[in-house]
Structure 1
Amino acid sequence: MDTVAELTIVRHGQSVANVAFAEAHARGVATHGLTGRDADVPLSPLGRRQATRLGRWLAAQPADRRPDHVVCSPYRRARQTWARVADTVAALGVAPAPVDLDGRLVDRLMGELELLTPLMIAERFPAEAARLAADGLHAYRPPGGETFDDVAARVRAALADLHRRHAGRRVWVVAHDAVVVAARHVLEGLSFADLDAILATTPVANTSLTRYVPVHGRLDLVEFAAVPHAP
Structure 2
Amino acid sequence: MAGVNALQWLTLTRHGESTGNLAFQAVDGTDAEEAGIPERDADVPLSDTGRAQAATLGRWLAALPDDERPTLVVSSPYLRAFDTAQIALAQVADASEILPVRVDERLRDREQGILQGLTARGVQNRYPGEADRLRRLGKFYYRPPGGESWADLALRLRSFYRDLQADAPGGRVLAVAHDAIVVMTRYLVEELTEREVMEIEKEPIGNASVTRWRHDGSGLAPVCYNDCAHLAGVVRPSPKARR
Fold equivalence (TM over 0.5): yes
SS in 1 for 2:11: strand
Superposed CA offset, 1:107-166 (max 9, x none): 111112122221111122221122112222221110011111110011111011112210
Task: Supply the distance in 1 between the matched residues of 2:200 and 2:146 (Cα, whole angstroms).
Answer: 29
- Where structure 2 has 5 or more consecutive residues not aligned to the other structure, the ranges are 233-243
TM score, norm. by length of structure 2: 0.87
Give the conservation status (yes or no) of the 8 Å contact 1:141–1:147.
yes
Task: Supply the distance in 2 between the matched residues of 1:25 and 1:112 (Cα, whole angstroms).
Answer: 20
**Equivalent residue number for residue 193 of structure 1:** 195
**Equivalent residue number for residue 100 of structure 1:** 102
| Alignment partner of 1:120 is 2:113 | no
TM score, norm. by length of structure 1: 0.91
Q: Which amino acid in 2 is paired with 1:179?
A: I
* Over 4 Å off, 4+ runs: none
Q: Which amino acid in 1 is paired with 2:45?
A: P
Count of residue correspondences = 227
Task: Supply the distance in 2 between the matched residues of 1:124 and 1:166 (Cα, whole angstroms).
Answer: 46
Superposed CA offset, 1:203-225 (max 9, x none): 31111111111234422211111
SS in 2 for 1:193: helix
Instruction: Give the CA RMSD over aligned residues.
Output: 1.7
**Equivalent residue number for residue 224 of structure 1:** 225
Q: Which amino acid in 1 is paired with 2:34?
A: T
**Corresponding residue to 1:4 among 4, 7, 22:** 7
Where do 1:208-219 residues align within 5 Å? 208-219=209-220
Superposed CA offset, 1:6-30 (max 9, x none): 1101111111111211221233422
| Alignment partner of 1:33 is 2:69 | no
SS in 2 for 1:178: helix
| Alignment partner of 1:50 is 2:53 | yes
SS in 1 for 2:229: coil
Structure with greater proportional helix content: 1
Where do 1:73-222 residues align within 5 Å? 73-89=76-92, 93-96=93-96, 97-200=99-202, 202-222=203-223
